[in-house]
Amino acid sequence: MGQKTPQIYSVELNGAKDMKQTDKGDDKDKYRGLWSTCLELRKNHHKEHVTKEIDLDDHKLSNKELENKYHTNIVTGLSSTQAAELLARDGPNALSPPQETPEIIKFLKQMVGGFSILLWVGAILCWIAYGIQFSNDKSSSLDNVYLGTVLALVVILTGIFAYYQEAKSTNIMASFSKMIPQQALVIRDSEKKIIPAEQLVVGDIVEIKGGDQIPADIRLLFAQGCKVDNSSLTGESEPQPRSCEFTHDNPLETKNIGFYSTTCLEGTATGMVINTGDRTIIGHIASLASGVGNEKTPIATEIEHFVHIVAGVAISIGVLFFIIAVSMKYRVLDSIIFLIGIIVANVPEGLLATVTVTLSLTAKRMAKKNCLVKNLEAVETLGSTSIICSDKTGTLTQNRMTVAHLWFDNQIFMADTSEDHFKQTFDQSSGTWASLSKIITLCNRAEFRPGQERVPIMKRVVVGDASETALLKFSEVVLGDVMEIRKRNHKVAEIPFNSTNKFQLSIHKTDDPTDKRFLMVMKGAPEKILEKCSTIMVNGQEQPLDQSTAEAFYTAYMELGGLGERVLGFCHLYLSADEFPETYSFDVDAMNFPMSNLCFVGLLSMIDPPRSTVPDAITKCRSAGIKVIMVTGDHPITAKAIAKSVGIISANSETVEDIAKRLNIAVEQVNKQDAKAVVVTGMELKDMSEDQLDEVLTSYPEIVFARTSPQQKLIIVEGCQRQDAVVAVTGDGVNDSPALKKADIGIAMGIAGSDAAKNAADMVLLDDNFASIVTGVEEGRLIFDNLKKTIAYTLTKNIAELCPFLIYIIVGVPLPLGTITILFIDLGTDIVPSIALAYEKAESDIMNRKPRHKKKDRLVNKPLAVYSYLHIGLMQSLGAFLVYFTVYAQEGFRPSTLINLRVEWEKDFVNNLEDSYGQEWTRYQRKYLEWTGYTAFFIGIMIQQIADLIIRKTRKNSIFQQGLFRNKVIWVGIASQIIIALILSYGLGSITALNFTMLRPQYWFVAVPHAFLIWVYDEVRKLFIRLYPGSWWDKNMYY
């Protein structure tokens, strides 16, 4: 069928032959590009870079020379002993699996990374602080040691969790790669044997036939009608003929070499193995992927940015208060302890765990929607994606030829091309259809594999090429049991398709017992078929083929060809019973039957139709501001047609060529600004400079790259990344793996994808469906928004936890909040609520806004930090201090007494410290009161964190717009906060080590007014943001 296609296009593009020729020339460079390193790929059109050629000259050698070179015999093959020796020398014929990172490295990797570093630094600082304290005073409190240990534990536990999550998705992936071991038919010791392909060695003589995967790089010694699909190697989807003649200097060009992992589509061949395993060409390419660096995920960049902010704030506050402490005549050593304490207090201990859990929750949600995320951080990447470079075949399309249009009775009929088309709705009453359907059924060599009666027709496995499969399934759907029809119309002679004839013919007895005539049916390239016809069937009646009908034929042919469809013509002839009696012996070589004056019946066109969900998904992408670029190895016309049908090129946009055609002017005269869409071929791309490519990428909103090699995909990805875009790339072939790796997020196809592609990708689409990407985008955007909320929530109380320490240093009140208590907030009450924010629904339609700008829309921006720290954080601190002062005042220490009490308060040998009433306190009594203060402060923060949690549900909308009760998990979070606090205060209140005491119930409510104040303040903030978008307020208060 490969040979059929040029004719289809020849109608549209005069001189497709030339084009094919130039394409070949381009392919040559394209292939060479494989051998220059991938990093130089962008320049692979410059000759100087194309130096590293493959040293393969086997294609130039004669059979004899080959036998000598490999010490083998073409007829008898290698001997078993020879083979065993060679196997021992070269190793098995399999691609060595991509280098696995050792599990321990993977595990350790989880514990370094931006956020963990912050915690590690915090932990080490704590231990240093303890070291200083201990050297100073042997009886110093162990709080710092606990804190450091907890910080380290948090990192380790979170690391284990993340590792476990990722290992789980790796396991799902592994289940995909369970492939049936490949077999090869080999001649050894003069015998044909079937051995596992892994055991092949150079010099082996193998036989392949249609449907086989070529088991190694082989030099063909004999071939009959052999065609291979090299798409996994070159991206070219046209079948390539193979013969044993040496036709080109370049081993990749010559026809007498078959490559490992490509598929033999039809015909048979015998070849000698010349390369095995990693030394094969595909093996070389697979190893190239490892040379491409993996891009850092956007969320990793964001978290790093966040760590910078936190570290910046921590160090500035720390240094500021260090200076204050020193100038307040604190000892320098104490001041250093304060400095460390402040820095560590700024570390949000719980956030790492929260972020990890949140990401894995989303990853789980995405996995349910068939997006398997390999790397947790990649969860968000899709959300910030601004360009998707998508494959055509399999991703956008169903990856199977399907009958799309029919032309008979001077009319074009449309066939249903959706995934499960059971009903064909075109007019089937015409007599022409009866004849046409007969031809379709009979002139077809494809057959269903037996034993699939229960399988839906569209899913059955068929033996035969793609076009015939399409026709078979089509006729099965429309007519019912095709095999039965064929049986009734016994085939007496047949000429299979070949490239010189460009038609296929068979002669049958008819199923009408009264009709003794033979029926000759023929299909083939439409113009070839038409040449042989003198009549045309219209409404079941034969009519002479005149000029006007011929014109109608050409119009239809051009129209269908213009849709990028593969068109076939069908004709038939009833052979007169007188001339061809029942006993007539047909001789296909002598052609003893008429080959002209046939009756033309109709045209039928096929296409690999788009998946039904794709157009909708593309529309969503577009409204989400994501540019979808199609990158395909297919012919530009087909690519464009599919692009148009799925909406990558929208209905009303035109390319320069379209405009030229419409206005009837030369392409050069068209104002390029008028064109919204462009189809760039690999050949054009090859001649473009980086700037030109950038120009194409920026000036056209709708781009299709056709006839590109997988290598050019990498160039396109790099071009997009130069525009500061976050690029998602889909791919399945081994050759896609460099591009998948280079992309910000590589998306491999779960079903069609090769292992190498899946390995290089960050995400695997389990159903190969483009529409799944859209759900991924949605989840990614949501998680970004929700992470913002989580971080804002977490940062707020950081100030409320830090203020006590600062006040303690500056004002000298007894420490309002202890280290251990802080840990119970960060890792206790606050964990569930901050995770609950991940379940928050989107505030507005997140799929209607532009993707975030990588460098401008940060996860943690200035307004977020400022608002959390200086507004809500401050209000929280005040509320919590109120509880603290209330507790102290009611126990006897009025606020005025507390000021500067610190030194006396902490002296172990002052056991009669006077309070505001003149009562005297022992050290332990004070300590107990201090713990009550901790508990009070803790409760104060907790109560206000509930308000904080509620306000963080939205960033712009009122809580009442969002609905207080829509996210049930938030309420689980609030309940968990309260329950944990109750347990700590009342359950564990008697365990002195935890520094919690039983708090009077009324103290739980002291901060409630502040909590309401926070809520009201935030509602006002949101109200003004909604009322005055773009205003000063909006800029400063919207995070």
Partner 1 sequence: MAALHEKKSCSQRMEEFQRYCWNPDTGQMLGRTLSRWVWISLYYVAFYVVMTGLFALCIYSLMCTLDPYTPDYQDRLKSPGVTLRPDVYGEKGLDISYNVSDSRTWTNLVHTLHDFLEGYSPAAQEDNINCTSNKVFIQESFGAPNHTKFSCKFTADMLQNCSGLQDPNFGFEEGKPCFIIKMNRIVRFLPSNTTAPRVDCAFLDQPKDIQPLQVEYYPPNGTFSLHYFPYYGNKAQPHYSNPLVAAKLLNVPGNTEVVIVCKILAEHVTYDNPHDPFEGKVEFKLKIEN
- Residues lying near partner 1 in the complex (CB under 8 A): 114, 117, 139, 301, 304-305, 307-308, 870-871, 874-875, 878, 881-882, 885-886, 889-892, 894-895, 908-909, 911-912, 914-925, 928-929, 932, 992, 1000, 1013, 1032, 1036
Read off the tokens for 232: 């996994």
Give the tokens for residue 995.
């520094």
- Extract the tokens encoding 189: 């010791």
- Widest CA span in the chain: 135
Output the smallest distance, CB 297 to partner 1, in A. Answer: 13
Residues 6+ apart with CB under 8 A from 477: 421, 422, 424, 457, 458
**What torsion, rounded to 10 degrees, do the Cα atoms 659, 663, 669, 673 define?**
-40
**In degrees, to the nearest 5, what angle opens at C-alpha 944 toward C-alphas 339 and 991?**
70
- What span, in angstroms and rounded, lies between the C-alpha atoms of 331 and 472? 91
CB of 681 to partner 1, least distance (A): 35
Smallest gap from Cβ 383 to partner 1, in A, equals 21
- What torsion, rounded to 10 degrees, do the Cα atoms 763, 767, 769, 772 define? -60
Q: Give me the residues paired with residue 605 across strands.
A: 405, 567
**Contact status, residue 391 vs residue 397, Cβ threshold 8 Å:** no
Q: Are 12 and 3 in contact (CB under 8 A)?
A: no
Closest approach, Cβ 878 to partner 1, in A, equals 5
Closest CA to 171 of 757, 758, 867: 758
Q: Which of 418, 474, 423 is nearest to 444 (CA)?
A: 474
CB atoms closer than 10 angstroms to residue 1034: 17
**Per-residue tokens: 20:** 């094919």
In whole angstroms, the minimum distance from the beta carbon of 915 to partner 1 comes to 7
Is residue 391 among the annotated active site residues? yes
CB of 787 to partner 1, least distance (A): 18
The distance of closest approach from Cβ of residue 99 to partner 1 in the complex, given in angstroms and rounded to an integer, is: 24
Phi, psi of 164 (to 5 degrees): -60, -45
Coil, strand, or helix at residue 831? Answer: helix
Structure tokens at 569: 């013509």
Which residue type occupies 346?
N
Give the residue with the Cβ less far from partner 1, 92 or 863: 863
Residue number, 513 or 1001, with CB nearest to partner 1:
1001
Give the CA distances from residue 702 to residues 583, 643, 679, 740, in Å, rounded to whole numbers and listed in that order.
62, 9, 9, 21
Three-state DSSP string of 859-870: CCCHHHHHHHHH
Measure the CA angle with vertex 732, ends 728 and 736; round to 5°: 70
What is the distance between the alpha carbons of residues 667 and 679, in angstroms, rounded to a whole number? Answer: 13
Can you tell me which residue has the tokens 């804002």?
Answer: 792
Q: What tokens does 912 get?
A: 């009669």
Q: Output 376 or 872, the one with its CB closest to partner 1.
A: 872
What does DSSP assign to residue 374? S
Q: Which residues contact 806 (CB under 8 A, 6 or more apart)?
A: 317, 321, 342
Rounded to the nearest whole angstrom, what is the least distance from the CB of residue 454 to partner 1 in the complex? 57
Contact 381, 387 (CB under 8 A): no
Beta carbon nearer to partner 1, 226 or 792: 792
The CB density around residue 980, as the number of other CB atoms within 10 Å, is 19
Q: Residue 848 to residues 116, 185, 620: CA-CA distances in angstroms? A: 35, 56, 8
Residue with tokens 């569209």: 458
Task: Give whichever of 824 and 921 is closer to partner 1, judged by the CB atom.
Answer: 921
Give the tokens for residue 542: 């034969």
* Shortest Cβ 20–partner 1 spacing (Å): 44
Write down the least CB distance from residue 184 to partner 1, Å.
Answer: 48
Which C-beta is closer to partner 1: that of 619 or that of 925?
925
Q: 745 pairs with which residues across the strands?
A: 728
Catalytic residue among 391, 416, 608, 830: 391
Neighbouring residues of 314: CB distance < 8 A, sequence distance ≥ 6: 342, 343, 345, 346, 347
d(CA 588, CA 565): 30
Give the residue with the Cβ less far from partner 1, 9 or 921: 921
Residue type, 994: L
Alpha-carbon distance of 289 to 97, in angstroms, equals: 13
For β-strands 702-706 and 677-681, DSSP reports them as parallel
What is the SS3 assignment for 214? Answer: coil
Identity of the residue numbered 239: P
d(CA 380, CA 360): 11
Contact (Cβ atoms closer than 8 angstroms) between residue 570 and residue 505: no
The residues annotated as belonging to the active site are 391
